[in-house]
Amino acid sequence: MNRSLPLIEEKGTLIQDAAELVSSYPRTALTVDCVIFGFEENELKVLLIRSDLQAYHGLWTLLGDVVHSNEELGDAAYRVLRERTGLKNIFLEEVQTFSTPDRHPGGRVVTAAYYSLINIRHHQLRRLDNEVHWHNLKTIQQMGFDHKMILDVCYQRLQRRIQEHPLGFNLLPDKFSLRELQNLYEAILDIKLDRRNFRKKFFSMDFLIDTEEYEVDVPHRPGKLYKFNFEKYQKNQKKWFGIDF
């Protein structure tokens, strides 16, 4: 960061003291908001909380918090996730900032949006959180603040990412059938996929571990259950998916 133009005035009074410089900067309220995705009953779901602001009475909003003065934004987002879902080590990606000056009725609040993918069955709502619920993504209309826009942008990011990286496994139970996997991809991408080609593709990636177990309590021929080979994925991700990640 360097100060704005014009520089010439600064030349005479070159600020030697970094602390003095920083203390002269305008200060902004800074938050993170998390789009927490889950998958259940063949529907992509999002965890939302009822707004605690009168201005948005009754509207649902993303889970978020102010950023503490000694933590990174990503850590703040992890903290929100941990506090709200009890889960650790979950997939989390920063998407972008939202900073229109009037986006919060109480004044200037800049937020950084993250999305995460969790296994909805591992998540236990805390008793205190009776204002927190899962919502079917497709039925969400209006939200508080600019959160519908944040949700839309994060969902688009997920749609793009999942076509290049096998992120979907984060949303599934430990063991899953290929039909469940396909249902997940069809729900996220909102398209129909060819069953045979879908299976061929995932088998050829070689990330699936055959558990030798089968579905139970299904009213038809049960499918085989697989696990996702996270270790192999982490080792091979460069080979499969390019430079970073």
Partner DNA sequence: AATCATTGTGTAATCTTTACACATTAAAAA
Partner DNA sequence: TTTTTAATGTGTAAAGATTACACAATGATT
Question: Please, which of residues 202-231 interact with DNA by CB under 7 A?
Answer: 218-224
Q: How far is the CB of 52 from its own copies (least distance, A)?
A: 6
Residues 6+ apart with CB under 8 A from 104: 29, 145
Give, as ranges, the residues between 169 and 188 that touch DNA (CB under 7 A): 177-179
Site membership for DNA, residue 201 (CB under 7 A): yes
Stretch that binds its own copies, among 92-100, 167-175, 198-206, 216-224 (CB under 8 A): 92-100
For residue 24, the 8-state DSSP code is T
242 binds, among DNA, its own copies, none (CB under 5 to 8 A by kind): its own copies
26 binds, among its own copies, DNA, none (CB under 5 to 8 A by kind): its own copies
Q: How far is the CB of 208 from its own copies (least distance, A)?
A: 26
Long-range contacts of 76-85 (CB under 8 A, 24+ apart): 76/32, 77/32, 77/34, 77/112, 77/114, 77/116, 80/32, 80/34, 81/34, 81/36, 81/116, 81/118, 84/34, 84/36, 84/47, 84/126, 84/129, 84/132, 85/36, 85/47, 85/118, 85/123, 85/124
Q: How far is the CB of 93 from DNA (least distance, A)?
A: 23
For residue 55, the 8-state DSSP code is G
| Interface pick for its own copies out of 40, 66, 142, 218 (rule CB under 8 A) | 66
| Interface pick for its own copies out of 96, 142, 211, 234 (rule CB under 8 A) | 96
